[in-house]
Chain A
Amino acid sequence: MPSTRYERLTEKIRESIANPKNSHALMHCMQRGRDKRSEALAVLPGGAAFRDEVKKVKDQCIENLPGLLDQFVENARKRGAHVFLAKDGAAAIDYVLRLAIARGVKTIAKSKSLTTEEIEINHPLIEAGLKVIETDLGELIIQLVDEKPYHLVFPSVHKMAEDVAEIFAKATGKPVSSDIPSIMKVVQAYLRPIFLEAQMGMTGANIGVAETGAIVIETNEGNGRLVSSIGDCHVCVMGMEKIVATVEEAMLMVLAHPVSASGQLPTTYVTWMGGRLPLGEGDGRAPRESHIIILDNGRTAMREDQDMREALSCIRCGACMNVCPTYGVVGGHTFGYIYPGPIGIPWTAQVHGLEKAGDFAPLCISCGLCKEICPAQIDMPMMIAEVKHRDAKTHNRPRADEVMMGADSAARLASACAPLANAAMNIGPVRSLMESVAGIDSHRKLPPFKRGTFMKTFARRAPRGAGGIRKVAFFVDVYANYNAPELGMAAVEALEAAGCEVVVPDQQSSGYPYIAYGDLDRARETAAYNVARFAPYAEKGYDIIATEPTAAYALRVSYPKLLRKSGKSKRVSERTYELFEYLLQIEASNTTTQSAQFAGKRYGFHVSCHQRPLGAGNGAMEWLTRHGAQVELIETGTCCGMGGTFGMKGGALGYELSMEVGKPLFTKFKESGVDAIITESSVCAIQLAEGTGLPLMHPLALLVKK
């Protein structure tokens, strides 16, 4: 079972890589979404701070959901709406079907609603003899070819104008020329009679407002307005998590949604529907009615599940899929069941079952970018880790994932017999064996191991006097410990030169691979181990410094989450810094030593994904600039593809996908004309060296005494 499951996924990934047309369209769409979002944030008062507001409001509303739900229902009923609480999709479908039959409905015009897609309402209605037509253009396109959404906001992004022309030629039986204005005329002529004749209009709701009992529908095309005003019977299917308390909170969501999705403020049309209105005057029409179906379908269980609850804060903006590196290559048909992209993993697990979520969850490389762009700051990486963790209880993980989780002990062994291990890594047959047995891709040039570890070197040093101005507890992690002890020592010496007393507590490596591959038991053990060793220092006023971005991320972001916000984990988190942001703070600003080695060279800086919520690499860039280097940031806004250890794994679910993800960034670096790339991440360095052919440097290397 597990093997065919990953074979299927592997096959789909290889198909996507072999046919890049869809992926190119999708990546263009994603890049545009990110750029437009940044432009919008630049003019929005407070910029990205709206995310704090959204998170606060959504957290509160989910906390108060039962009360808000009652209030919404009461107020909607006061306005004459019929409200039905559907426990699952079948109940909702049954309600609509009965209603349609009772009202003699023949045609249902729908405006875009992911919630109705979640319960796959169209097919049973069509089977019952109803004509059900999607009126959002993107949704109509995929309905006509019976596909699922490729992207949450742009469901048909993979169809080019000529594809769309062909689809409508087939639907109308007349030739359609493939320029967009001609297609639009055909679409208008096709849909206008549907809008006018439909006896039932079906919509979703982006928001339910408890204080007014109104639903809010956001569209750009205006189809939501037509669908909710013409037919005498209006049906709204709304997920129960969409309810907010006040008009002000709804206004915030109305902005957050399109800003995050496409940089609009707000969508062209926002319809606040408080009850059903009459149409015209006098007799001649059936009574006008509005039915609001509030869907549970696993949401109550999600709310009660402390590891999945946050997913309810999703406002369906699609921003997470605009930044997800692997989604960009494979698209929503592979990276999704019905809900695509990063948030699609926890949502699928909760509403469509763990099995379906586990089918595509390994595509998440745990870069964490989704969390950083999410307007509700949902911790998707940790929830996805939880999905993988639960899924692993019934399925074996891919072998390579197990190996990567054991990288620390492997490194310990390799370091102990470094010359032998290094020689072996350069032998073809050995690498083939490593690939077939351990799943490590044989293309990868692995960093050599050093005989003495950082920990040993540090311990052997002559003792320094205590009593620096600042006290630092140093966190070293795998690479600087086993592969580059001299870099770790350079960091220590730089800290000491800046007046710090440095201690190196007993520690394990960060354990982030356990999160990435979903072994949360071992992740928690590691977090607890390190927190127990570092918290006493944090409590004595020591600052904790890490050089590896992922290690700093683990200490600052992941550990408190893993340890359920224990006091110790919070204290460790609060005192954790990246090396360079720290050095910048404490070095006297007159230490602008102009280093000769920088002369005449241009460096391109690469920000590792896990640095984004920390200092985004600004510390290192500023520090390098202060020391006379000409450094520029080169980025696509997404990942280099390595994804920690993901790209080290052999095959499609590793190396091949990883290199495909990295292509746009490789091109940017190659076209930039820089002499070398600087990055703080040891694994990004491996990826970029291979992808660009440029020399790679760690900023710490500049501290190493030659």
Chain B
Amino acid sequence: MGSNPSVVDHFVQAFEKVSGVAHIARSSVEIAAQVVAVATEKNAKRVALANLPDNLTGAIAEACVAAGFEVVRDPFLANTLPAAIDQAQVGVTGIAFGIAQTGTLVEIATNDVVRLVSALPRTHIGVVAASNLVEHYDDAASQVRKHFQSNPAGCVVSFMSGPSRTGDIELKLTLGVHGPESAHAIIVVE
């Protein structure tokens, strides 16, 4: 796929249009710092991490603990769920790829813990490599198929375009009715 500046710009524009907040990070240290900054701004006590590469989970966890946050991460014991994640104010998940045209983060889960981390806390942060952004909505189809093929037993693909929203009362756009009221994307540029 390869990253180029325009696809990142396009993603950022589209993500902001759907009420998301985009950040650019160049290293795991920067990613961790941005997670801490968001968690601080949200007065979080607990941060949940899932679906991230081990080294990145380590880096973010370390920075969060140093900043005084409690961290929940792999392994999530079945009998602690869903409460362990419900008590987190910020959830951070790894994102397989993003769609610039629509400002969509695409999360691939083979364990529903991942979905809970991106759905239950009031703030969600998706971490996506700039090289995994595709320009067009149509480009996503082959990716979706690939993930289903490589996970024959069970696979849930989630498109997430901004925070939870509703217009069910007087058609007034209201964010965060059930899921996250704020949605962040950290785009990792190498």
Contacts and interface: CB of A to CB of B under 8 A. Distances in A.
Contacts of B116: 229-230, 279
B120 A270 contact: no
Given A251-B138, A279-B78, A281-B75, A220 B165 contact: yes
Contacts of A187: 177
A464 B153 CA distance: 79
A285 interface: yes
B117 to A, nearest CB: 10
Interface size class of A (residues with CB under 8 A): 35 or more
A229 B152 CA distance: 18
Contacts of A160: 169-170
Contacts of A268: 18, 160-165
Interface in A205-227: 211-212, 214, 220-223, 225-226
Interface in A25-52: 25, 28-29, 32
A141 B151 contact: no
B1 interface: no
Tell me whether chain A's interface is mostly helix, strand or loop, or mixed.
mixed
B4 interface: no
B169 A164 contact: yes
A139 to B, nearest CB: 9
Interface in B149-189: 151-172, 174, 176-180
B162 to A, nearest CB: 6
B79 to A, nearest CB: 3
Contacts of B148: 212, 214, 247, 272, 274
B178 A280 contact: no
Contacts of A274: 148, 151, 154-157
A137 B81 contact: no
Nearest to A28: B171
A184 interface: yes
B58 interface: no
B80 interface: yes
Interface string B40-84: 000000000000000000000000000000000001111111110
Contact of B158 (A25, A161, A220, A225): A225
A277 B138 contact: no
Contact of B174 (A157, A184, A248): A184
Nearest to B109: A277
Interface in A521-556: none
Contacts of B123: none
A270 B102 contact: no
Interface string B96-118: 00000010100001111101101
A78 B168 contact: no
A266 B115 contact: no
B145 A247 contact: yes
Contact of B172 (A155, A180, A192, A270): A180
A646 interface: no
Given A274-B155, A277-B154, A278-B111, A221 B165 contact: yes
Interface in A581-635: none
B24 interface: no
B79 A251 contact: no
B115 A229 contact: yes
A535 B86 CA distance: 70
A181 interface: yes
A266 B110 CA distance: 23
A226 B178 contact: yes
A277 B169 contact: no
A109 to B, nearest CB: 11
Interface string A263-304: 001111111111111111111110010000000000000000
B38 interface: no
Interface size class of B (residues with CB under 8 A): 35 or more
A245 to B, nearest CB: 12
A279 B113 CA distance: 6
A29 B170 CA distance: 8
A282 B75 CA distance: 9
A541 to B, nearest CB: 42
A183 interface: yes
Contact of A137 (B83, B119, B169, B180): B169
B167 A154 contact: yes
Contacts of B172: 180
Contacts of A77: none
B79 A283 contact: yes
Contacts of B77: 280-282, 284
Interface string A156-168: 1101110010000
Nearest to B139: A251
A437 interface: no
Interface in A141-178: 141, 154-157, 159-161, 164
Contacts of A267: 161
A274 B144 CA distance: 11
Contacts of A262: 167
A137 B154 contact: no
Contacts of B115: 225, 229, 277
Contacts of A276: 154
Nearest to A79: B154
Given A270-B158, A279-B111, A284 B119 contact: no
B159 A269 contact: yes
Contacts of B137: 251, 255, 265-266
B152 A79 contact: yes
A83 to B, nearest CB: 15
Contacts of A288: 112
A439 to B, nearest CB: 38
Contacts of B165: 220-221, 268
B154 A222 contact: no
Given A221-B164, A280-B113, A25 B170 contact: yes
B33 interface: no
Given A155-B168, A280-B80, 11 more contacts: A32-B171, A78-B152, A156-B168, A212-B148, A230-B116, A267-B161, A270-B159, A277-B115, A278-B112, A281-B78, A282-B79
Q: 6 closest pairs, A vs B, by CB?
A: A284-B79, A222-B179, A275-B154, A270-B159, A280-B78, A138-B168
15 contacts: A80-B153, A164-B169, A220-B167, A225-B119, A225-B179, A247-B145, A266-B137, A269-B158, A272-B156, A274-B151, A274-B154, A280-B75, A281-B111, A282-B75, A282-B78
Interface of B: 18, 75-83, 86, 102, 104, 109-113, 115-116, 118-120, 137-138, 140-142, 144-145, 148, 151-172, 174, 176-180
